[in-house]
Amino acid sequence: MTNARETRFAKRRAVVVGINDYQDGNNHLPSCINDVKAFEKILREDYAFEEIGRLVDSEATVAGVTAALQRLVADASPDDRLVFFFSGHGSTELRNGVAEQCMVLYDGYLFDDELSQMTQSLPPGIFTLVADCCLSGGLEKTLADAGVSGRWRRQSCARQSLHSCN
């Protein structure tokens, strides 16, 4: 259900990613694709999203997810609402001798600082990240502490509304 305030937003775009079956054959998960389907339904039916890119299992490569995120944030305006949903494994990996949080994609990792770099040019308050993965709490530190004063606020995903995150 949408109201007049919500319909003024120029674009409602999302990228939803879920990985049940990982490339290495180990550590498969039972319900990430079901999570994607349920979240996509909520975006369409409750928030009137029409542009939703879905990547599941072998489609959710580093290159595929990065390209989808670049399309998501391209030409964004202050009235847009952008959502990135991920359901899969999360991890802490050593990179250049530093432990960093990341989302485990089908063929590699999407590190928190890479996601932050892709979203830094967005107008404040239009991007929502929902990460259903281990160590997802560590992902928000980069978005919250990215060095852009006042831009990111730490909020619980369950409490952040898609239409009132300013």
CATH number for position 107:
3.40.50.12660
Decide if 88 is inside a domain: yes
Is the entire prediction scored with pTM above 0.85?
A: no
Task: Supply the pLDDT for residue 140.
Answer: 57
What is d(CA 135, CA 141) in angstroms, rounded to the nearest whole number? 11
Least Cα distance to 126 among 7, 1, 9 occurs for 9
In this prediction, residue 146 has a pLDDT band, given cuts at 50, 70 and 90, of very low
Domain with 101, as residue range(s), is 4-144
Active centre residues (catalytic):
89, 134
**Structural domains of the chain, count:** 1
Four-residue CA torsion sign, 5, 7, 13, 17: positive
Lowest mean pLDDT among 30-34, 43-47, 124-128, 146-150: 146-150
What is d(CA 104, CA 91) in angstroms, rounded to the nearest whole number? 7
Tens digits of residue pLDDT in 1-44 = 454 445 454 899 999 999 999 988 778 999 999 999 999 999 99
Decide if 149 is inside a domain: no
Amino acid at 164: S
- Mean pLDDT score of the chain, rounded to an integer? 81
More confident position, 138 or 35: 35
Decide if 155 is inside a domain: no
Mean pLDDT of 62-89: 96
Task: Supply the pLDDT for residue 112.
Answer: 87
Q: Is the pLDDT of residue 139 over 90?
A: no
Decide if 20 is inside a domain: yes
Q: How many helices (H) and strands (E) does the chain have?
A: 5, 7
Decide if 14 is inside a domain: yes
Decide if 16 is inside a domain: yes
Decide if 153 is inside a domain: no
